[in-house]
Structure 1
Amino acid sequence: NFRITATDGKEYDAKHYNLDVILAVGYRVRSDRGTQFRKWATERLREYLIKGFTLDDERLKQGGGRARYFQELLQRVRDIRSSERMFYQKVTDIYATSIDYKIDAELTQKFFATVQNKMHYAVHEHTAAEIIAQRADSKKPLMGLTSFKSDYITTDDIVVAKNYLTESEINQLNLIVSLYIDFAELQAASGRLMKMQDWIKKLDEFLSISEKKLLHSAGSVSAKQAEKKALAEYEKYRSVQDKNYVSDFDREVKKLLTL
């Protein structure tokens, strides 16, 4: 039991149950209330499986003690928006609104690289390639990475600049990406005629207003040079990783052997 203050201002002892217990009972109890719970839970699960998320909009709008959860949600959405795949897709959409737009994969990639590098530079004064070449180090724990997809590092992880950033740098980058995408969408929705170079100029203006330093060159390291450096460091690091890595299967076998 926990003591709570009711709406009448008086304190009462109220029973509190573990959430896991509530969920387990809700799926098993045979009653109208149990049926209502299962219907609600199924709707939430179905939305999650289809969309990849489920939200209680009204509870989040109420704020109060849930404000911190809303802030966490915003932070996670910003992180998703700044992922290379999502960001590339959004930048490509913006690129397509330009009056001088051409369906050219090479030009699209170049535009994306320019935008991405300017945003990286605004955060840590290095291009994406420079940060990879500078921080990929086989002697460092986790090869200098601060995040990666699986239980172990792969070649896909080591060529993503964002994977080397500190928490503070990631938060700044996420904010810049999110704000710029919103700004660009507003520009596009206003129906203003924009050329490719106009979008770059608008990005510089946006970063200047944010009091961030601007990148005016392609950087000192090319993407190929950064990839070559990262792969060389990975080859050195991989032997250590393979030696220390313990798979889920190995853990289960070890448990069985100790029985």
Structure 2
Amino acid sequence: MQNQELKKGEIVIYKAKGGPKLDVRLEKDTVWLTQKQMAILFNKGVPTINEHIKNIYKEGELERNSTIRKFRIVQSEGGRKVERNMDFYSLDVIISVGYRVKSKQGTQFRIWATRTLKEHLIKGYTINKKRLLQVQDSLKNLQEIIVLLQEKSKHELLAGQEREILNLLSSYAKTLTLLEQYDKEKIPIVKKAKGEFVLRYDEAKEVIDRIKKELIAKKEASDLFGQENAGKLKGILGSILQTFEGKELYPSLEEKAAHLLYFIIKDHPFVDGNKRIASFLFVYFLDRNNFLYKDSGEKKINDNALTALALLVAVSNTNEKEKLTKLITNLLSV
């Protein structure tokens, strides 16, 4: 007999040793056969099968409504394909008919069907349990982000940023909705991006120098802006590319960008301007990887949202790193 991975409404092949081969319909946690298929299975005529089924219902052994249903099938008639609504009978009916015709094939089919249904139920339970855990994890993440944003919004540095914080929360919740829709097979999941551009130290320094000149010309920065502390920037740029046992710690473009922003703000590689430099390099890194904009043409994270994110990172505790980088990563994935 042949075992196959099962899905609801799937056709499963039954083939007993020395017996017939049947296309068995699996639906509603049971198996279904037509009278013609039962006639083949039990090696009896269709009229005999029909008579036994009539008696099963007449004697009240089984209830008709719960053990019979119609399926639309395609069959060949006179050299052409024709769709017909056919009566199919559940395993309870099949077993009952098998007992009445005293068929050895009926016993074999009952054993096969019971095992097949058990496998189907176990697989269905495993899939549903996995989905439940994924939903629970998503809700837990959302709850943690809500608590984090509520706490940090009270900080004096974030005064006036309430609207942007709400927008961040709304965008983050949208990513969880998309994940839930994917889990229910409603939309295709957007795979994490793989960027080709790597931000090297010398290029980063050139970008910072250009920004510094522009800001000084506007009288928005001093000479201390962008002065590096003991080679810290080089270490940060190296850290987002680090590997462990041949695998990148931050394999996706979104994760690299999120950690670039986070590390520059939290590790203070510069005497002055860490938040602004982190934001500029974050945007530059995404732009060079053609990942700054959505298909609609708007930025994945607009300037106001980026300002709020930078401030959130700045006032966060070190044990909140994973939550914040996950927030940024998901915002980039929408």
TM-score by length of 1: 0.29
The structure with the largest alpha-carbon Rg is 2
The structure whose RCO (Cα within 8 Å, separation 6+) is larger is: 1
Higher helix share: 1
Higher strand share: 2
